[in-house]
């Protein structure tokens, strides 16, 4: 007799072992204002979409995560980064911005970096965490 995996158990394990950082997702809502006195362009207005548990994994981080979980559960991707959030988190949309607010995982290398959502979140009939492909925005 073969026993299947318990998706709820795997989901809880992934959330407690990997989604330990705090991530913020914001959505641009307009055009950056021009300051007529200085001639400088201000920040693009944004609305908060989600702030809470999550992780940003690079290609190397995905391999590391598979070692923690004990099996491969993410396929190769054309993008180098993926955002992982709980299934209850708000859905990111294309062009939303993602940043790591606090890195509880022990590595602050992601704090202060900004990513842009490439595509709507991946979907499947069995979901364990929400997976969203990202591209890093390189500052000027």
Read off the CATH number of the domain in which 90 is found.
2.40.10.270
Domain count for the chain, please give it: 1
SS3 state of residue 59: helix
In the structure encoding, which two tokens stand for residue 42, read together? 């201000």
- Rg of the chain over Cα atoms, rounded to whole angstroms, equals 17
Range of the domain at 36: 7-137
pLDDT in tens, 35-71: 888 989 988 899 999 999 999 988 655 555 555 555 5
Residue 94 CA: distances (Å) to CA of 7, 8, 91: 27, 28, 10
Residue 1 lies in a domain: no
Which pTM value belongs to this model? 0.76
In whole angstroms, give the CA distance from residue 134 to residue 35: 31
In whole angstroms, give the CA distance from residue 99 to residue 23: 6
Positions in the chain short of pLDDT 70 = 1-3, 59-79, 105-107, 139-140
Residue 63 lies in a domain: yes
């Amino acid at each position: 007799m073969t026993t299947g995996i318990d998706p709820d158990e795997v989901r809880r394990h992934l959330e407690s072992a990997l989604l330990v950082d705090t991530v913020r997702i914001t959505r641009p809502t307009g055009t950056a204002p021009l300051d007529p006195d200085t001639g400088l362009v201000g920040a693009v207005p944004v609305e908060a979409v989600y702030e809470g548990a999550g992780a940003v994994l690079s290609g190397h981080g995905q391999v590391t995560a598979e070692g923690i979980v004990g099996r491969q559960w993410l396929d190769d991707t054309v993008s180098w980064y993926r955002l992982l959030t709980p299934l209850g988190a708000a859905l990111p949309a294309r062009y939303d911005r993602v940043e790591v607010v606090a890195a509880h995982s022990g590595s602050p290398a992601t704090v202060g970096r900004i990513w842009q959502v490439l595509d709507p979140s991946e979907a499947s009939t069995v979901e364990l965490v929400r997976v969203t492909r990202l591209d890093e925005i390189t500052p000027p």
